Amino acid sequence: MKLLFYYLIFPGFIFASVIGLLTVWLDRKVSARVQWRQGPPWYQGFADIGKLLYKEVIIPEEAFGSGFIAAPLFGLASVVLAVTILCVSFFSMSEGFIGDIIVVWYLFAIPAIALIYIGSTSGNPLSSVGVSREIKLLLSYDLPMIIIIVMMASKAGSFSIQSIMDWQRINGSNISNWYGIISFAVAIFCIQAKLGRVPFDLPEAETELGSGILMELSGGVLAAYELSKAIMLFGLPMFLIILFWGKGIIGGILLYLLIMVLLILIKNTNPRVRIDHAMKYFWGWMSGAAILAGILAYFGV
């Protein structure tokens, strides 16, 4: 019963959905004000999801019907589980398990895999281009981020979220060292790419591909994907807070807002990059910076 409460209400599906959709509103509102526009009302995200759920789901002839519908639901379930694990550990509601930090990162990858499956079976050539870009992007930002996660876990002596937070409580936040500052800068760009936000919105690329990988999504299928993305916009900054600060609730809220400001600034001050440039950027500069941070961490700098 307790587990069901965690997963469905707090800090599970309902809590994560509400906070995620409000964060989407914050993102859109701040972006609008930067561009001298009014922006949407606070309830716009909820209205958009409700409207999509009301609409018909159109399944392409080439697609496997049940898989086309089930894939985004698996993605939604995975991000809810990831956020639940993060929040349960952050609010000290339960002890974590060994390896949960790496599990959480790959739970956040399932929506992208679900999207790849949907785009691959849709039969739309523009969706296929989006699928190709999504696969390359997934493989690109994963490398530097895994280096950072392994490094932080090595400092704490465990992949457990609770152990990483406890280590920082005793020894100070990871961000207070040079290796933490460099790692955080790399992680911010990895998170931006994982969320599919400008300048790494290559799989959708509305001005080039007309929504690309999302082109054949409609109704409840699209609603499940958009809700997954909203929850990730809440969950991934939480992931960074645990990895680099491990602070309490009040500090966590302030740090969350700081990370959101950085993500919004990156989104509104950069043009979309080409996929080959994105791959070179993550496999080159970002991976190199992550390795440098690992070397500094080894020497305790």
Q: What is the pLDDT of residues 284-293, one digit of tens each?
A: 999 999 999 9
- The pLDDT, as a whole number, for residue 90 is 83
Residue type, 9: I
- The pLDDT, as a whole number, for residue 154 is 93
- The pLDDT, as a whole number, for residue 131 is 94
CA distances in angstroms from 246 to 31, 128, 150, 151, 195, listed in the order given? 29, 40, 16, 16, 22
Would you state the structure tokens that stand for residue 218, as one six-digit string?
A: 């409609």
Task: Please tell me the pTM assigned to this model.
Answer: 0.93
- The pLDDT, as a whole number, for residue 125 is 86
- The pLDDT, as a whole number, for residue 98 is 64
- The pLDDT, as a whole number, for residue 95 is 63
Which residue positions in the chain have pLDDT lower than 70? 1-6, 93-99, 248
- The pLDDT, as a whole number, for residue 247 is 73
